Amino acid sequence: MTEDKHIPLVRDETQLEYISDFILGVAFTIIGIIAAQRMAWSRQQGGAETNVVTAFYSLILITSLFRAVWFLIPNSVLEPSYVPHAAMAFDPDHPSWVGGFLSEEMLTAGSLSLFSIFILILVYWADILKKYFQPGTQRSRPMTTFLHIVAFLIAIELLSAALFLLRFYSSEGMILVNSILLSIVSIICVVEITIFSHKFRTVLQTLGAINQVSTESQVKRIVWITVTGNLFFFTRAFIETIFAVMLITYWHKNGTVQEVFSHPLWDTYMCLKHWSEVIILALMLYILQSRFTTNGEAKSNGEYQSVPDEDEKEVVGENIVV
């Protein structure tokens, strides 16, 4: 990592990369505006479900803001090279390490907030399933569990950032840690979504039969979340795993991963990674909107019925996530 230490970095962002980043930035901005409008609308409605709805829309908004800022700020403002390059913290020969560090932290923050959307769904699903499959078992509050999981992921990222600032490894090491973490979380999400959704469909169909109400719309919504979530996380796990393997292989052979980050490869990685994020965020907005539209129509027609003898707040949580 010291061989090209004194070689100046050339500002090499191509016109195609600049246009691609701008389009992605605009796409995330539009999603953020829609999420903010929906969040404001849901707060005006009031009711017990406002906090949960606000949590979902706020996570979509935060994700969009981080991504929009990252893409709309020209890459040359933060660092000279469009593709990642090796730099040690506080290296006087590479003052661009500061921009590279901030850039990586913004990317990480956006990824964590995006993954948190599905983590929140899974936490609520797990809590509801525990109620039906393990009745009488003490359950923790879903939001508390969610905050603990997110805090754990943030702690890992903060540790990675601290190790970089303490010069235990270069920016390459920080990128590798993020890639491995995201691939592991993606695989876990694929497994959990598949298991929970199968159990959830069984519960909904049983409750529908007992209460003599149709749960078809809820089942379809579960299928939508399962299919879209699994496609996204499987794609993300595949991309991040391949990326991590390539980084480790090149790092083991050459002591650096500089050769991995060619423009065509990096552009392909960024395109697949971030356009899949745009699609999943747009789909989540659609699913959430269709959820409340259907709910409103059912209530106006006198069709909406909650499960009897349940605590109101728990029923609200179930209604939101299914």
Going from N- to C-terminal start, the domains of the chain cover: 15-130+139-321
pLDDT digits (tens, 9 = 90+) for 11-20: 567 888 889 9
Task: Say which range, 134-148, 187-201, 216-230, 292-306, has the weakest mean pLDDT.
Answer: 292-306
Q: What share of the chain is helix, strand, coil (3-state, %, to 5)?
A: 75, 0, 25
d(CA 200, CA 185): 21
Query: Apex CA 118: angle with CA 116 and CA 120, to 5°?
Result: 65
68, amino acid identity: A
Alpha-helical segments (H) within the chain: 15-45, 50-72, 75-78, 97-133, 142-165, 171-211, 216-254, 263-300, 312-321
Q: Are 24 and 278 in contact (CB under 8 A)?
A: yes
Task: Say which range, 206-210, 245-249, 283-287, has the weakest mean pLDDT.
Answer: 206-210
- Confidence at residue 291, expressed as pLDDT on a 0 to 100 scale: 59
Q: Which CATH number fits domain 15-130+139-321: 1.20.1070.10, 2.40.30.10, 1.10.760.10, 3.50.50.60?
A: 1.20.1070.10
Rounded to 10 deg, the angle between the 50-72 and 263-300 helix axes is: 160
Distances 291 to 68, 80, 218, 321 between C-alpha atoms, Å: 27, 45, 8, 9
Length of the chain: 322
d(CA 44, CA 46): 5
What own/partner pairs with CB < 8 Å and gap ≥ 24 does 317-321 have? 317/52, 317/124, 317/127, 317/128, 317/142, 318/124, 318/128, 319/49, 319/295, 320/49, 320/52, 320/53, 320/56, 320/124, 320/291, 321/52, 321/121, 321/124, 321/125, 321/128
Q: Are 132 and 322 in contact (CB under 8 A)?
A: no
Phi/psi of residue 298, nearest 5 degrees? -65, -40
Average pLDDT over residues 215-234: 83
The pTM score is 0.83
Q: Are 82 and 75 in contact (CB under 8 A)?
A: yes
Token readout for 236 is 């993300």
- Confidence at residue 303, expressed as pLDDT on a 0 to 100 scale: 41
